[in-house]
Amino acid sequence: MSALFEPITLRELTIPNRVWMAPMCMYSAAAEGPDTGAATDFHLTHLASRAAGGTGLVMVEATGVLPEGRISAHDLGLWNERQQDALARVAAAIRSYGSVAAIQLAHAGRKASTLPPRLGGAPVTVADGGWQAVAPSPEPFDGHPAPHELTVEEIAGVVQAFADAARRALAAGFQVVEVHGAHGYLVHSFLSPVSNHRTDAYGGSFENRIRFALEVVEAVRAVWPQELPVFFRTSATDWLTENAEDERDGWTGEDTVRLAKELQAAGVDLLDVSTGGLVATAKIPAAPGFQVPFATAVRQATGLPTGAVGLITDPAQAEQILTDGAADVVLLGRELLRNPYWAHQAARALDARSHWPTQYGWVVGPRD
């Protein structure tokens, strides 16, 4: 039996294999009018095709819990019923092909209010139709306007927005919800001392800097069914200096292990381990599997299941990650954009079976 195609059960949810689709922003939601932030036919086709392709879990891209929590005006949102209804079509389609429907809830923080990457990705000011970005401290991201420093009352409002979006995700038919705590967005910017210069209960010490992340997780967990899992995506390092002693060294792999223990106690069932995104000038040593050791460190120190992501492209490579015990699942990003049927082809290469749509049954061979 291929490790990559063994089911995995988290809480009471069984996911048919360990080839998962990572959340990737498509910047294709409705950008104006009553359907602002709503999923479109593109999302239905894009995500359902990966489920038909045999991917065990398909995760919808970063979905803003508030209008000002979007990266761009073209991002998905989940702060109203119209958005919920549009996403319900997507979740139903994913499930209809035997895959698990997951969604990542997000707030872009100080990296909000930009053009989509295909239009250059530049910040959009309030005067030009954008909105005021928010953050733990008024420290701008590279080339962006200074964000508004959230008050304690505003922080509580964002926490509530995550819980409200989780309720809508459940009503829309999603089986997994993930809190986006990575890539320099709001939750991550609270965690790292590079971006969090607060002196109140949400800044300073490690315990204070993780407070917002834990409050978000606890609020989501409180409204999410006990039988269904909650994930958390982390940037395991800011890719500054892992061993130095001042705040310029940012968030480190050791910090991530400490955070993972607290997240596990708060009800997180899997840590989705990425890296970077906080500092535009960080030098990231990208290479096949370069983020896997961070997932391994968390798994070994805590026993918390982890997902490995980042330049995982080859079936044998993915299989080895699992058989080595380096992670519990693999998440594919750009490789699944290139090849929606990667899971079926990987199963064939590994002499395993993937879950084909029943409509395709007449072409499925003995090794599929």
Any idea which residues carry the catalytic annotation?
185
Tell me the pairing of strands 8-10 and 13-15. Answer: antiparallel
Torsion of CA 78, 80, 81, 82, to 10 degrees: -80
Q: Which residues contact 352 (CB under 8 A, 6 or more apart)?
A: 1, 2, 4, 5, 346
- What is the rounded CA–CA span in Å between residue 367 and residue 81? 44
333 CB neighbour count, 10 Å cutoff: 17
Give strand pairing partners of 120.
none
**Cα gap 359→153, rounded to integer Å:** 52
Residue 235 contacts residue 168 (beta carbons within 8 Å): no
For residues 107 and 134, give the distance between their C-alpha atoms in angstroms, rounded to a whole number: 9
| Tokens representing residue 363 in the block | 């072409």
Alpha-carbon torsion 323, 23, 85, 267, what sign? positive
DSSP string across 133-200: -EESSS---TTSPPPEEPPHHHHHHHHHHHHHHHHHHHHTT-SEEEEEE-TTSHHHHHH-TTT----S
What Å distances lie between residue 134 and 109, 117, 147, 195, 240, CA to CA? 5, 20, 5, 12, 24
Instruction: For residues 180 and 81, give the distance between their C-alpha atoms in angstroms, rounded to a whole number.
Output: 21
| Alpha carbon distance 337, 359 (integer Å) | 23
CB 59 within 8 A of CB 20: yes
Q: Which residues have a Cβ under 8 Å from the Cβ of 164 and sit 6 or more positions away?
A: 65, 79
